[in-house]
């Protein structure tokens, strides 16, 4: 873990569930969180900050104004968006920006991207990358629900898959099958074509024509259930009882390489992911300008190992 630097990091969406975890993690790492929200004058607030982490979603509404102010202030921008379309928009619109921009430095969009990068190792290309997520349950926050509604609207109710080197729409029902996760989880019912921001970040720097994705069926059912109670804190860090395991398999010419990470609470783990990324950007690691995912911007294995064993158990 890199050392504390006493730098000031603005958090957009500081009142939110994820924003709270990010503020606590910044404190823990010796940085100073600067809470920002709807009524904050961003241009003014960002002039006194060294970086901004955007935790305000749906990002379809917040990414452009927050990035615009970050560019104006000349400070790095990171976010935790899970919106695939928001990620592709950011890559399209800000490739030439003069600041470092790291979208989806989070559970979805960041962790799978890091694992895929680590699994590929020195392989120049893979015939297929498969990402399988096992969640013990999922009680989405209001922000996640709002994000799901915005993404569904943008897709006209269709689903998206990455196939044949591009994002494509699918209208048929998502396939259900089984996936054999590493012990102790083992074989589980999963829903296929559960496409996340990982399918937007990974193709920006890894060479693969196909990305297959699976989510444990129980979590998909929870996501669509009427229960809107949200996550319940069960430990001193505010984490819920939810556990996760993400497995990535890179396949090429009959050979497979695997990488997996397990941990607790997909919202809580987003904080050490994005704060580690912010610390590294502030230390001058990675490109000083333009858009890059965490897997592309940093050395993936080193990044993942810096979060283990406290936040992640790696295989």
Ligand X SMILES: NC(=O)c1ccc[n+]([C@@H]2O[C@H](COP(=O)([O-])OP(=O)(O)OC[C@H]3O[C@@H](n4cnc5c(N)ncnc54)[C@H](OP(=O)(O)O)[C@@H]3O)[C@@H](O)[C@H]2O)c1
Give the 3-state secondary structure of residue 250: strand
User: Contact with ligand X (CB under 6 A): which of 8, 10, 16, 276?
Assistant: 16
- Does residue 62 interact with ligand X by CB under 6 A? yes
Only one residue has tokens 């379809």, namely 60
Please give the Cα distance from 259 to 3 (Å, whole number): 27
Sign of the dihedral through C-alpha 44, 283, 24, 102: positive
Please give the Cα distance from 108 to 203 (Å, whole number): 14
- Does residue 143 interact with ligand X by CB under 6 A? yes
Tokens of 272: 């050490």
User: Contact with ligand X (CB under 6 A): which of 91, 94, 108, 194?
Assistant: 108
Please give the Cα distance from 225 to 138 (Å, whole number): 10
User: Contact with ligand X (CB under 6 A): which of 6, 38, 92, 122?
Assistant: 38
- Does residue 72 interact with ligand X by CB under 6 A? no
Point out the residue whose Cβ comes nearest to ligand X: 57
Q: Which stretch binds ligand X (CB under 6 A): 11-19, 168-176, 252-260, 275-283?
A: 11-19
- Does residue 61 interact with ligand X by CB under 6 A? yes
User: Contact with ligand X (CB under 6 A): which of 104, 211, 282, 312?
Assistant: 104
* Minimum separation from the CB atom of position 261 to ligand X (A): 13
- Does residue 238 interact with ligand X by CB under 6 A? no
- Does residue 147 interact with ligand X by CB under 6 A? yes
- Does residue 58 interact with ligand X by CB under 6 A? yes
Please give the Cα distance from 14 to 5 (Å, whole number): 21
Please give the Cα distance from 204 to 78 (Å, whole number): 17
- Does residue 80 interact with ligand X by CB under 6 A? yes
* Minimum separation from the CB atom of position 262 to ligand X (A): 15
- Does residue 33 interact with ligand X by CB under 6 A? no
User: Contact with ligand X (CB under 6 A): which of 121, 142, 175, 186?
Assistant: 142
- Does residue 194 interact with ligand X by CB under 6 A? no
* Minimum separation from the CB atom of position 201 to ligand X (A): 10
Q: 101: Cβ–Cβ under 8 A, 6 or more apart, which residues? A: 67, 70, 76, 77, 78, 90, 94, 290, 291, 292
Q: Which stretch binds ligand X (CB under 6 A): 141-149, 161-169, 200-208, 289-297?
A: 141-149
- Does residue 200 interact with ligand X by CB under 6 A? no
Q: 219: Cβ–Cβ under 8 A, 6 or more apart, which residues? A: 133, 134, 135, 137, 138
- Does residue 152 interact with ligand X by CB under 6 A? no
Measured from the CB atom, is 251 or 268 closer to ligand X?
Answer: 268
- 10 Å CB burial of residue 149 (0-12, 13-18, 19+) is exposed
Residue 294's closest CA among 309, 310, 272? Answer: 272
Sheet (strand 77-79) strand order: 32-36, 8-12, 51-54, 77-79, 100-102, 290-291
User: Contact with ligand X (CB under 6 A): which of 8, 9, 10, 17?
Assistant: 17
Q: Which stretch binds ligand X (CB under 6 A): 80-88, 184-192, 245-253, 292-300?
A: 80-88
* Residues, the chain: 315
Kindly identify the residues of this chain, within the stretch 260-279, that bind ligand X according to CB under 6 A.
266-267, 270
Binding site for ligand X (CB under 6 A): 13, 15-19, 37-38, 55-58, 61-62, 80-82, 104, 106-109, 141-144, 147, 197, 266-267, 270
């Amino acid at each position: 873990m890199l050392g504390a630097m006493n730098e000031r990091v603005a958090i957009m969406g500081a009142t939110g569930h994820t924003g709270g975890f990010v503020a606590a993690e910044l404190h823990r790492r010796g940085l100073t969180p600067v809470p920002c929200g709807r009524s904050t004058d961003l241009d003014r607030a960002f002039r006194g900050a060294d970086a901004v982490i955007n935790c305000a979603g749906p990002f379809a509404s917040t990414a452009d104004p927050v990035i615009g102010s970050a560019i104006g202030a000349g400070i790095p921008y990171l976010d935790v968006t899970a919106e695939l379309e928001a990620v592709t928009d950011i890559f399209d619109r800000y490739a030439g920006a003069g600041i470092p921009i790291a979208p989806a430095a989070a559970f979805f969009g960041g962790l799978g991207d890091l694992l895929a990068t680590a699994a590929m190792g020195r392989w120049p290309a893979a015939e297929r990358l498969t990402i399988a997520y096992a969640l013990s349950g999922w009680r989405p926050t209001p922000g996640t629900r709002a994000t799901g509604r915005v993404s569904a609207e943008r897709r006209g109710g269709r689903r998206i898959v990455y196939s044949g080197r591009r994002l494509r729409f699918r209208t048929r029902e998502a396939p259900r099958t089984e996936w054999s996760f590493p012990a102790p989880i083992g074989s589980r019912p999963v829903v296929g074509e559960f496409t996340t921001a990982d399918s937007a970040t990974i193709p920006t720097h890894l060479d693969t024509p196909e990305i297959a994705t699976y989510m444990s069926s129980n979590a998909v059912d929870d996501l669509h259930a009427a229960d809107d109670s949200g996550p319940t804190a069960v430990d001193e860090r505010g984490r819920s009882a939810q556990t996760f395991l993400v497995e990535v398999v890179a396949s090429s010419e009959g050979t497979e390489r695997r990488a997996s990470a397990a941990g607790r609470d997909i919202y809580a783990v987003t904080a050490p992911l994005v704060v580690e990324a912010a610390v590294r950007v502030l230390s001058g690691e990675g490109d000083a300008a333009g858009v890059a995912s965490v897997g592309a911007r940093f050395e993936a294995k080193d990044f993942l190992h810096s979060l283990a064993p406290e936040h992640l158990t790696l295989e």
